[in-house]
Amino acid sequence: MHRKLPFILLISLICAGTACTKVDVNFGGEFVDNSLSQIIKTDTIAPVLSTVYLDSFPTSAKGVTLVGGYTDPIFGRIDTKTYLEVAPPSTSAPYTNATFDSLSIIFKINHTYYGDTTKPVHIDVYQLSDYITPPITSSSLYNIDQFPVSNFLGGRDILISPTKVYPYPGILPTDTFTIRLSDALGKTLLKKLQTPGDPDMISAATFLQYFKGLRISSNAATNLVLGCKDSVIMRLSYQKADLYPVHLNADFVLSNSSHHFTNISVNRTGTPLATLPLKKVILSTAPGADSAAYTQAAAGAMTKITFPTLRSVLQAQNFVSIVKAVLIVRPVKGTYDNGFYLPSQLNLATTDLYNQPGGALSAPSAVGGVSSSFGTLYLDYLGENTGYTYDISSYIKAIVNDPSPDHINNNGLLLVPPSPAFETQFSRIVVGNSFNAYPYNKIELQVYYAAVTQTVP
Ligand SMILES: *[C@@H]1O[C@H](CO)[C@@H](O)[C@H](O)[C@H]1NC(C)=O
Ligand SMILES: *[C@@H]1O[C@H](CO)[C@@H](O)[C@H](O)[C@H]1NC(C)=O
Ligand SMILES: *[C@@H]1O[C@H](CO)[C@@H](O)[C@H](O)[C@H]1NC(C)=O
Ligand SMILES: *[C@@H]1O[C@H](CO)[C@@H](O)[C@H](O)[C@H]1NC(C)=O
Ligand SMILES: *[C@@H]1O[C@H](CO)[C@@H](O)[C@H](O)[C@H]1NC(C)=O
């Protein structure tokens, strides 16, 4: 009922100049049609797409250890390097008479991955030669940060299926995988644990001064990025002679999660996004090769959507007000498959002049409240209905109702996954623009507006 009043008011205002009859229009339901008003749907307001560059974003404390790299024909070669710090085990454990078995690092997979799971992923572990320190202006570490390494501690190839890890033939799949590290380091660490009051082992802080940290990286032959939990463990295994040998572990666990981050480097040579870091914005206005915009947030590419011609709806005949606006984002057919898959959720984030991502738009929820609006993927590999749908009524109404050209809303919207998928996953989308030759590839804005259909002479 509350919708009724303003509409009647508008009609009376419009009617004030002309000699039309004031009629009480029931506007409680959205799609009411009577002799005086109707709801008209238009899809002729073309959203404008561009791809904008995000040169740096925090990757620390996201709870995910990324390992590996892969080559994407559209987005380029992506390589990840995870940096982290570990804390020493308690020295109160009885290490006397212990003999060294092995030193290894243990990863627990988190079941997110991107790339080719039929080939092994190569993983290398290095010791850092410098402290992980955030930039002076920030307490976070970024995708572009890096720190020098000294000792190579170990590496191996490992075959990983999307949900399971095969340590080696004949062993059942598990959720964890292990890389053997340097015996020399292992023996040194055990010696230190056995030495009462060894200054390096007194606390996490003194150990950090001695050990610095670890870097997990991959090689150019690898074609898979794997998401693991951040709870990486460096395990020192040793045994003690008793009546029979006892096998024991001393675990060096992740210490400061604020210093756990991933360096993500992207080589875009030979891809449609080759000039992105230089140009910062690539406008998508032409049919053909440029008929799309691109989102892969963790690799610094975000689709930006603006509505420069939106206010033309005000000129529509007998326009009264916007009732509803729906945005449908569609991936270009053939740019995605089971390997290069689409993000399961994409937000419409507000942004500023510098294309920094802000908060996500919220949408009316089914129960009448407001929920944060993920466009959840509707997937249709065979047909042509794949896409993400958003109710952006309040956003569109705000732009239409604000006459100032520099209204904040004119900065547009960024199509990005919600964090932490934003920083830790490589699923990506090629978004068809308004000029795309195929309707099932096109982005579409559907605007429903109320119009007065007749004036009485
Ligand atoms: C360590 O080993 C020596 C000789 O093997 C033995 O005499 C000693 O009791 C052991 N110490 C502990 C704490 O087990
Ligand atoms: C963890 O890192 C943050 C950011 O650099 C720092 O402020 C904090 O003191 C560190 N915590 C510890 C226990 O070292
Ligand atoms: C870290 O990322 C930056 C920018 O992406 C890149 O130039 C640099 O080589 C990377 N460092 C390492 C060690 O990969
Ligand atoms: C980027 O890729 C191109 C082509 O694959 C290669 O020639 C070039 O050396 C690579 N650049 C870097 C910095 O690795
Ligand atoms: C795996 O990591 C993603 C972020 O990339 C996170 O959203 C998800 O909850 C994690 N899953 C598990 C099982 O830890």
At 259-290, the pLDDT tens digits run 999 999 999 999 999 999 999 999 988 665 56
Question: Which atom of ligand 2 lies closest to the CA of 132?
Answer: 5
Q: How confident is the model at residue 377 (pLDDT cuts 50, 70, 90)?
A: confident
At 384-420, the pLDDT tens digits run 788 998 999 988 998 888 766 555 456 899 999 999 9
Mean predicted confidence (pLDDT) in 46-72: 95
At 129-188, the pLDDT tens digits run 999 999 999 999 999 999 999 999 999 998 877 566 666 665 566 788 899 999 999 999
Mean predicted confidence (pLDDT) in 418-441: 91
Q: How confident is the model at residue 242 (pLDDT cuts 50, 70, 90)?
A: confident
The per-residue pLDDT of the chain, averaged, comes to: 84
**What span, in angstroms and rounded, lies between the C-alpha atoms of 110 and 163?**
8
pLDDT at 238: 96
Closest ligand, as measured to the CA of 69:
3
Name which residue leads in pLDDT, 166 or 456: 166
Q: How confident is the model at residue 361 (pLDDT cuts 50, 70, 90)?
A: confident
- Beta-carbon neighbour count of residue 333 at 10 Å? 16
Closest ligand, as measured to the CA of 267:
4
Q: Is the CB of 51 under 6 A from ligand 3?
A: no
pLDDT at 19: 31
Name the nearest CA neighbour of 355 among 51, 47, 48: 51
Residue type, 107: F
Residue nearest (by alpha carbon) to ligand 4 atom 1? 267
Closest ligand, as measured to the CA of 113:
5
pLDDT at 169: 62
**What span, in angstroms and rounded, lies between the C-alpha atoms of 395 and 52?**
21
Residue in 70, 268, 269 to alter for ligand 4 test, most ligand atoms within 8 A of Cβ: 269
Q: How confident is the model at residue 69 (pLDDT cuts 50, 70, 90)?
A: very high
Cis peptide bond N-terminal to 403, omega within 30: no
Q: How confident is the model at residue 17 (pLDDT cuts 50, 70, 90)?
A: very low
At 294-313, the pLDDT tens digits run 999 999 999 999 998 888 88
pLDDT at 243: 82
pLDDT at 383: 62
Give the CA dihedral 151, 157, 162, 167, nearest 10 degrees. Answer: -100
Q: Is the pLDDT of residue 32 over 60?
A: no
pLDDT at 411: 84
Q: Is the CB of 219 under 6 A from ligand 4?
A: no
Residue in 70, 77, 144, 146 to alter for ligand 4 test, most ligand atoms within 8 A of Cβ: 77
Q: Is the pLDDT of residue 334 over 60?
A: yes
pLDDT at 91: 75
**CA 97 – ligand 1 centroid, Å:** 6
pLDDT at 217: 97
**CA 246 – ligand 1 centroid, Å:** 14
**What span, in angstroms and rounded, lies between the C-alpha atoms of 225 and 103?**
25
Give just the sign of the alpha carbon dihedral 445, 446, 449, 451.
Answer: positive
Q: Is the pLDDT of residue 95 over 80?
A: yes
Q: Is the pLDDT of residue 368 over 80?
A: no
Name the nearest CA neighbour of 257 among 132, 151, 356: 132
Q: Is the CB of 267 under 6 A from ligand 4?
A: yes
pLDDT at 301: 96
pLDDT at 410: 66
Q: Is the CB of 265 under 6 A from ligand 4?
A: no
Q: Is the pLDDT of residue 94 over 90?
A: no
The structure tokens listed for 361 are 């738009």
**CA 136 – ligand 2 centroid, Å:** 13
Give the residues surrounding ligand 5 with Cβ less than 6 Å away. 64, 110-112, 227, 229, 420-421, 424-425
Q: Is the pLDDT of residue 93 over 80?
A: no
Q: Is the CB of 263 under 6 A from ligand 3?
A: yes
pLDDT at 92: 73
pLDDT at 165: 63
Residue type, 370: V
Q: Is the pLDDT of residue 363 over 70?
A: no
pLDDT at 378: 77
**What span, in angstroms and rounded, lies between the C-alpha atoms of 37 and 54?**
46
Q: Is the pLDDT of residue 364 over 90?
A: no
Question: Which atom of ligand 5 lies closest to the CA of 229?
Answer: 14
Closest ligand, as measured to the CA of 61:
2
Residue nearest (by alpha carbon) to ligand 5 atom 9? 110
At 182-237, the pLDDT tens digits run 999 999 999 999 998 899 999 999 999 999 999 999 999 999 999 999 999 999 99
**How much is the pTM?**
0.86
Closest ligand, as measured to the CA of 265:
3
pLDDT at 172: 60
Residue nearest (by alpha carbon) to ligand 3 atom 5? 265
**What span, in angstroms and rounded, lies between the C-alpha atoms of 69 and 264?**
9
